Amino acid sequence: METMASVGEFALIQRFFTPPSGPLPPGVVLGVGDDGAVVSVPRTQQLVVTTDTLVEGIHFAADADPVLLGQKALRVNLSDLAAMAAQPRWYVLSLSVPGDTPVVWLEGLVSGLRQAAQRPAGEVVLIGGNLTGAARGSLSITITLLGLVGRDRAVTRGGAQVGDHILVTGTIGDAALGWAIQRGILTGVAAADQAALLQRHHLPDPPVELAIALQESAFSRSAIDLSDGLIADLGHLCRASRVGARVHAERVPLSPAARRQVEQQGPALLARLLGGGEDYELLFTVAPSAVAAVHVLAEMMGVPVTEIGVITAGSEVVVTHQDQPLMVEAGGWDHFGGV
Amino acid sequence: METMASVGEFALIQRFFTPPSGPLPPGVVLGVGDDGAVVSVPRTQQLVVTTDTLVEGIHFAADADPVLLGQKALRVNLSDLAAMAAQPRWYVLSLSVPGDTPVVWLEGLVSGLRQAAQRPAGEVVLIGGNLTGAARGSLSITITLLGLVGRDRAVTRGGAQVGDHILVTGTIGDAALGWAIQRGILTGVAAADQAALLQRHHLPDPPVELAIALQESAFSRSAIDLSDGLIADLGHLCRASRVGARVHAERVPLSPAARRQVEQQGPALLARLLGGGEDYELLFTVAPSAVAAVHVLAEMMGVPVTEIGVITAGSEVVVTHQDQPLMVEAGGWDHFGGV
């Protein structure tokens, strides 16, 4: 069986990462194959940069499907750019892979990356990277993703204003439930619900295009991607904006599978879902006058959007469930402690 | 003792990576602390991007000095930008660190990064990153470095022309000897030479400013950084330029410590030094008419520069030692096989 070590670094790069000949993709002056890549940033645009790593044993299991991993590795970075409302354009990939890893694993990863790179506005282009060995059991995948946003148009965590409505895309908590199922912590879930929740754990779907459309319409005053847990991330946004927030837990959108778990286990589980991480949905705030237009835009783009609360004066994030206080462990997804 | 896990991801980021308040560094619109960083690329410039990873057990030992590691992690990336003749400006850092790592280790790493970030043209600014856990023994450090170069002025591997002189900066083979000393493969070296060679292994010193000056004077037609080994890297450059090369091994610049080893062990060791990696010096090619001016410029900037051969027609890289063919294992530094 071909392994990474038997084929070797240079042949692997040649086989999997050398771009097809032909015209260069938009903005790329020099792609994979030199000491660095060169790209051109239009003068009306600024560059947005983010980086995220998936580590074996921390973010995924040794037997994880490499195609899903490739997709997830790029998508978690797309989620960060969505939060900034930037158009994803180019990425570099740093892979540390044990030498005895089969080459078909790399083939799967590259295929997953390519799938995730296909976006409505065009392909996100691999422009460089690094491939190196690693100790067994410590495979890691780092992506640095570059995007473009109009000059001074990036949406940040710092723009929320008192009275803004707080909205989230998609549904919350599915990934945390999928993670718990994967680890054997959550059992007794119906097969169809298990599949749905695992899918959401493996394959986040950040609303990149909606985030850009919201920014282009100047609807979103502030935004953050939900990676550490809804309440933890809302806390980050509130600190950056020097405001507080009130969240109505019963309004937080749940998938049918998650709703069935909450109905069985009660509000304590709901609280855990608001603390759980890796939703990779967008939380954003909008002036009251813009809320109706945001719903129209989101519906046009086919992205579910739900109001879950309001930005308040002060600095506290208050969560209630049917007007009773709800305690959420909002420490976030600490990658040294796990959840 | 404080460890990464006991302090936690968010507190560590707060303590070590949150920039001082005050005016933003040049070009930075939004730095560490949001979902992504935002930077501004002047319209006369293009963006150059490179990434490089150091992995425990592959690139460094478990007990490596974190201050030196921090310096090296940034400097190996600076070397790639030097090859492109780009001015280093901003970087993102992805750290995967076992939870039981002492916090003083991180303190050392950050201090090393800050030292390496101080350049004559200004500080290379950390604008973002990612901090996560890792299995014991599999610490890794990935940096993506961003730089600027004048529009269509990046120096590539592809510009060498037949008749160009081949030049290298600094001295060659010290890092490979230092690596061999570190691993206990090379013994019996005098203490002072050991120290000098180990220093060069731990602390590469890529000639960033000379590379930029050569580009600004339009002297360098092609360039590559020496990371895989002189002959392997020259091979990469020749393939990209569709040319061959002739190298006179006896002209390759050696440090006094390396020269003493070659005098003891003969041309076979010289051949290994030309195959060994991690010099992080610059190899570049220059039209014959420009060679004299290059020497003047290099002398002004205090960087030793040596002519080692000439670009030829064809596709072969021929290495001779006093006009006899010298066999160099030019597979390069394959990070699955080691050297």
Q: Give the minimum alpha-carbon distance from A30 to chain B in angstroms, rounded to a whole number.
A: 9
For residues B175 and B280, what is the distance between their CA atoms, to the nearest angstrom?
Answer: 9
Instruction: Encode pLDDT of B187-224 as tens digits.
Output: 999 999 999 999 999 999 999 999 999 999 999 999 99
Contacts with A, B 293-312, CB within 8 Å: none
For residues A66 and A62, what is the distance between their CA atoms, to the nearest angstrom?
Answer: 10
Q: Say yes or no for a CB contact (<8 Å) between A140 and B135.
A: no
**Predicted confidence band at B9 (pLDDT cuts at 50, 70, 90)?**
confident
> What pLDDT, on a 0 to 100 scale, did the predictor assign at position A70?
98
Alpha-carbon separation of residue B11 from B130, B164, B320 (angstroms): 13, 54, 57
State which H helix or E strand residue A231 sits in: helix A230-241
For A318, counting Cβ atoms within 10 Å of its Cβ (0-12 exposed, 13-18 middle, 19+ buried), the class is middle
> What pLDDT, on a 0 to 100 scale, did the predictor assign at position A18?
86
Is residue B17 helix, strand or coil?
helix
> What pLDDT, on a 0 to 100 scale, did the predictor assign at position A272?
92
pLDDT < 50 stretches in chain A: 337-339
Contacts with A, B 189-228, CB within 8 Å: 223-225
Which of A35, A49, A59 comes nearest B50 by C-beta? A35
Residue type, B25: P
Nearest residue to A145 via CA among A93, A203, A95: A93
The answer to whether the CB of B148 falls within 8 A of the CB of A69 is no
Which of B47, B127, B335 comes nearest A132 by C-beta? B335
Q: Which structure tokens are listed for B1?
A: 């003792």
Residue B36 contacts A where some CB pair is shorter than 8 Å: yes
Task: State mean pLDDT over B104-131.
Answer: 96
CA A105 to chain centre: 23
> What pLDDT, on a 0 to 100 scale, did the predictor assign at position A331?
53
Residue type, A11: A
Task: State mean pLDDT over B172-189.
Answer: 92
Domain ranges of chain B: 4-150, 165-325
Task: State mean pLDDT over B241-247.
Answer: 98
Which of B53, B80, B223 comes nearest A96 by C-beta? B53
> What pLDDT, on a 0 to 100 scale, did the predictor assign at position B119?
95
Q: Name every chain B residue with its beta carbon within 8 A of the beta carbon of A336.
A: 4-5, 8-9, 99, 133
Query: CATH for B4-150?
Result: 3.30.1330.10
Q: Say yes or no for a CB contact (<8 Å) between B335 and A129.
A: no
> What pLDDT, on a 0 to 100 scale, did the predictor assign at position B162?
98
Residue A277 contacts B where some CB pair is shorter than 8 Å: no
For residues B243 and B263, what is the distance between their CA atoms, to the nearest angstrom?
Answer: 32
Query: Residue B274 contacts by C-beta under 8 Å, 6 or more apart in sequence?
Result: B172, B173, B229, B230, B231, B247, B249, B252, B319, B326, B328, B330
Mean pLDDT across chain B: 94
For residues A140 and B140, what is the distance between their CA atoms, to the nearest angstrom?
Answer: 9
**CA dihedral of residues B213, B242, B332, A17 (deg, nearest 10):** 90
Q: pTM for the full model?
A: 0.95
Q: Which residue of B has its CA nearest to A148?
A: B38
Q: Give the minimum alpha-carbon distance from B150 to chain A in angstroms, rounded to a whole number.
A: 11
Residue A147 contacts B where some CB pair is shorter than 8 Å: yes
Alpha-carbon separation of residue B237 from A131, B79, B233, B240 (angstroms): 19, 15, 6, 5
Task: State mean pLDDT over B32-53.
Answer: 96
> What pLDDT, on a 0 to 100 scale, did the predictor assign at position A337?
43
B148, B157, B283, B336: which to substitute to probe chain A, counting the most A Cβ within 10 Å? B336
> What pLDDT, on a 0 to 100 scale, did the predictor assign at position B306?
98
Q: Give the minimum alpha-carbon distance from A180 to chain B in angstroms, rounded to a whole number.
A: 19
> What pLDDT, on a 0 to 100 scale, did the predictor assign at position B338?
39
In chain B, what percentage of residues exceed pLDDT 70? 97
> What pLDDT, on a 0 to 100 scale, did the predictor assign at position A339?
30
Which of B8, B56, B130 comes nearest A51 by C-beta? B130
**Would you say residue B167 has pLDDT above 90?**
yes
A270 phi, psi to nearest 5 deg: -55, -45
Query: Residue A75 contacts by C-beta under 8 Å, 6 or more apart in sequence?
Result: A116, A203, A204, A205, A206, A280
Q: Name every chain A residue with its beta carbon within 8 A of the beta carbon of B58.
A: 96, 132-134
Which of A38, A96, A158 comes nearest B140 by C-beta? A96
Task: State mean pLDDT over B229-257.
Answer: 97
Q: Say yes or no for a CB contact (<8 Å) between A50 and B92.
A: yes
Q: Name every chain B residue with its beta carbon within 8 A of the beta carbon of A57.
A: 134-135
Residue B238 contacts A where some CB pair is shorter than 8 Å: no
Query: CATH for A165-325?
Result: 3.90.650.10
Q: Say yes or no for a CB contact (<8 Å) between A29 and B46.
A: yes
Task: State mean pLDDT over B35-63.
Answer: 95
B28, B40, B45, B51: which to substitute to probe chain A, counting the most A Cβ within 10 Å? B51
Residue B101 contacts A where some CB pair is shorter than 8 Å: no
Task: State mean pLDDT over B136-146.
Answer: 95
Residue B129 contacts A where some CB pair is shorter than 8 Å: yes
> What pLDDT, on a 0 to 100 scale, did the predictor assign at position A334?
57
Which of A46, A128, A156 comes nearest B49 by C-beta? A128
Instruction: Encode pLDDT of A187-200 as tens digits.
Output: 999 999 999 999 99
Q: Say yes or no for a CB contact (<8 Å) between A50 and B41.
A: no
> What pLDDT, on a 0 to 100 scale, did the predictor assign at position B133?
92
Contacts with A, B 152-171, CB within 8 Å: 152, 154, 156-158
The answer to whether the CB of A141 falls within 8 A of the CB of A54 is yes
**Would you say residue B333 has pLDDT above 70?**
no
| Helices assigned H by DSSP within A85-207 | 103-117, 174-182, 191-202
Q: What is the DSSP letter of B47?
A: E
